[in-house]
Structure 1
Amino acid sequence: MKTFTIDEAQSLLPLLESLLKRAIEGKRAAQEIESQLSELGRRIYLAGGMRVNVADVGRQRTEIEAHQETVRESIAEIDAIGVQVKDVDTGLLDFPCRVDEQVVLLCWRMGETTIEYWHTIEDGFKGRQPVDERFRRRSNSSNRPN
């Protein structure tokens, strides 16, 4: 498992935010089209049947698949970097980080300007705590030449 210093994680935020936005937009677009198709199905049911432009419905299904693929690709790119996507809707990411011989997770959510929280693997988001000097010390010492 790749681990990050707080500085390394912080430097990745612009790229990760861009990938997250792409995933969120793709998910929302797919959901919007799915909602339209669901409404069409409801209208067909209530009317006891109706004429439907099959080509349009097929095109919409293809669009849904394309949007879903964008979401999958974006999440895969984030995962390939070594960052964990915890919640696409809120843009919640965790960065494995080694502190005091233990792996913990630096925690960042879309809209936060910097990484200011961490939690243990067991505690999850509910156990978020402010980043303390241990993280900054590790970051500074890992940047010193040997």
Structure 2
Amino acid sequence: MVHAVNPPTDPNRHPRSGRRDLIGASRIFTPEQANRTLPLVRQIVQDVMQLRLEIAALNQQLAGLNERDANELMGHRDFVDEVDDVRDSLQQDRDRLARHMDELAKLGVVMHDDAEGYVDFRAVLDRRIIHLCWHIDEPEIGYWHEANEVAAKRRCIEGRRFAEERN
């Protein structure tokens, strides 16, 4: 599934030249800009989390098939077809997951815990790069943490002033 039907306006578009950063990871967001991307980001993150569950289930199914006496069953066409189908499904899901992660990267979003649904948006606070942190269950961006910290150390953004773009 392609999510970016109406991709958000790039917050780093230079107003005079129309230049856009080609690498999404270099984008800098304010909380307001990050919040505008959340409907799309939320959908992608939900899809990533669902794909992770499906991939885990397929891996478990494949492991179960491999535990069978493969030498005895390899001569049975049904067994071979089932193993091939599971492997094909697994590869398709991995490919879809990679496309979703690429889509997040193009938006300038880093998913740092796809099992829990945490994502980061790069921002500038007090002239240093920090991460605005969002969780799938939250209605909007409400927290930040230092770029080298985990989400567990996040702090409330209330009362903080974030730079529009990196100088």
Normalising to structure 1: TM-score of the pair? Answer: 0.84
**Which residue type is aligned with residue 118 of structure 1?**
W
Partner of 1:3: 28
Question: Would the aligned equivalents of 1:92 and 1:110 in 2 still touch at CA under 8 Å?
Answer: yes
Question: Would the aligned equivalents of 1:22 and 1:70 in 2 still touch at CA under 8 Å?
Answer: no
Partner of 2:66: 41
* 1:24 paired residue among 39, 45, 49: 49
Partner of 1:70: 96
**Which residue type is aligned with residue 48 of structure 2?**
A
In the comparison of the two structures, how many residue pairs are matched?
136
SS in 2 for 1:134: coil
**RMSD of aligned C-alpha atoms?**
1.8
- The answer on 1:100 being equivalent to 2:126 is yes
Normalising to structure 2: TM-score of the pair? Answer: 0.74
> What is the 5 A alignment of 1:81-100?
81-100=107-126
The Cα of 1:120 is off from its aligned counterpart by 0.5
**Which residue type is aligned with residue 67 of structure 2?**
R
Partner of 1:118: 144
Ranges in structure 1 where 5+ consecutive residues have no aligned partner? none
Ranges in structure 2 where 5+ consecutive residues have no aligned partner? 1-25
The Cα of 1:124 is off from its aligned counterpart by 2.4
The Cα of 1:42 is off from its aligned counterpart by 1.8
The Cα of 1:49 is off from its aligned counterpart by 3.5
The Cα of 1:16 is off from its aligned counterpart by 0.5
Percent identity between matched residues is 23
Question: Would the aligned equivalents of 1:24 and 1:71 in 2 still touch at CA under 8 Å?
Answer: no
Q: Distance in 2 between matches of 1:23 and 1:119?
A: 23
